[in-house]
Amino acid sequence: MSKQNAAVRLVDTKKLPYGQWLDVRRNGIGSSDAAAAVGLCPYKSQLELWMEKTGRTPPEEVRPGQDDPRYWGTLLEPMVATAYQERTGRKVRKLNAVLQHPTFPYMLANIDREVVGVPGVQVLECKTAGEFGSRLWKDGVPEYVQLQVQHQLAVTGKAAADVAVLLCGQQLEIHRVERDDEVIARLVVLETRFWEYVEKDIEPPADGSESAAKALRKLYRGNDTHLDFTSDEDLGQAFDALAMLKDELEAMEHEAESFKQVIQQAMGDASKAVFAHGEVTYKRAKDSTTLDTKRLMAECPDAAAMYSVTRPGARRFVLSRIPDNAERTTTC
């Protein structure tokens, strides 16, 4: 690696408070942000990431708890690194720094471990995956992780990385990811484009994901403004396409429900039915206990008021179409 490609050691993280570390991350695209920044992350959209980078989403005040996969990833990272050393015989060391690309300062990277004294590989990325996440690894390293690693190689100028993933807490897999300069060149272009959205405070387009939907709900709370899009051809086409798709989906859902009820009626009280190409289970869920809020309000209004909380109302997207002079309303 030539000196001009060496990463800048931006911040030492060994004693850096968690809040300050988040501030550093917010001011650039980290390796774990790379897939989202280019629109290829299955968990986070460009729009949600943009809201984080522009400060519209408040930073987390505390570290993730045990109900968050990130907690277990951080907790198990040293164990995965140790298992990697035992499996391969290679030495690794913790870097304790946020690195910065020497040419593109908004490209940042936290490296899990450096691989020491091995010509063929220089970076170790440690991953954990549970029952659901493990499915993404059945064909090798998922695309969003490959992009994360290529981002790391871009920032550091290194030639290759090993990805060590612990699947379901008991199976360790090690995958080699070689530097791909064509992928990195494309990453730089797309990440630069995303960072321009951040710097110019222009929101990126929504991508149809649940992440983007969540971001839009947070970004636009709603008011009583009315807009006239009757002269906007592009938005008019989007409206017509949405209305047509809603009709098709409703028809398909009705058809699916009809087939489902045919099978349910044939099963009667049975809990399982086997078919030539699969099976169906039809079981009753366990009884649950709920709070009788109406009775509580009637008999103990003071106690009910004491523990009541206000939940903000959500915006509803209602599509109304007027074909052939007959109004039709559909709720999305």
For 272-285, the pLDDT digits (tens) are 999 999 999 999 98
Average of pLDDT values for 157-165?
95
The whole-number pLDDT of residue 267 equals 95
The pTM (predicted TM-score) of the whole model is 0.81
For 94-119, the pLDDT digits (tens) are 999 999 999 999 999 999 999 999 88
User: Under CATH, what is the fold of the domain 3-205?
Assistant: Lambda Exonuclease; Chain A (3.90.320)
Average of pLDDT values for 2-31?
83
- Least confident window among 1-15, 174-188, 212-226: 1-15
The whole-number pLDDT of residue 3 equals 42
Q: What ranges do the domains of the chain cover?
A: 3-205, 222-265+315-332
The whole-number pLDDT of residue 314 equals 82
| Per-residue pLDDT at 242 exceeds 90 | yes
The whole-number pLDDT of residue 171 equals 94
Average of pLDDT values for 161-181?
95
The whole-number pLDDT of residue 16 equals 86
| Per-residue pLDDT at 53 exceeds 90 | yes
| Per-residue pLDDT at 326 exceeds 60 | no
The whole-number pLDDT of residue 83 equals 96
pLDDT band, residue 1 (cuts 50/70/90): very low
The whole-number pLDDT of residue 133 equals 87
pLDDT band, residue 63 (cuts 50/70/90): confident
| Per-residue pLDDT at 5 exceeds 70 | no
The whole-number pLDDT of residue 61 equals 62
pLDDT band, residue 191 (cuts 50/70/90): very high
Q: CA 36 to CA 46: how far, in whole Å?
A: 5
The whole-number pLDDT of residue 330 equals 57
| Per-residue pLDDT at 26 exceeds 60 | yes
| Per-residue pLDDT at 312 exceeds 50 | yes
Nearest Cα neighbor of 323 from 239, 254, 250, 200 is: 239
Average pLDDT, the chain: 91
- Least confident window among 146-150, 259-263, 290-294: 290-294
The whole-number pLDDT of residue 321 equals 84
For 196-220, the pLDDT digits (tens) are 999 999 999 999 999 999 999 999 9
| Per-residue pLDDT at 311 exceeds 90 | no
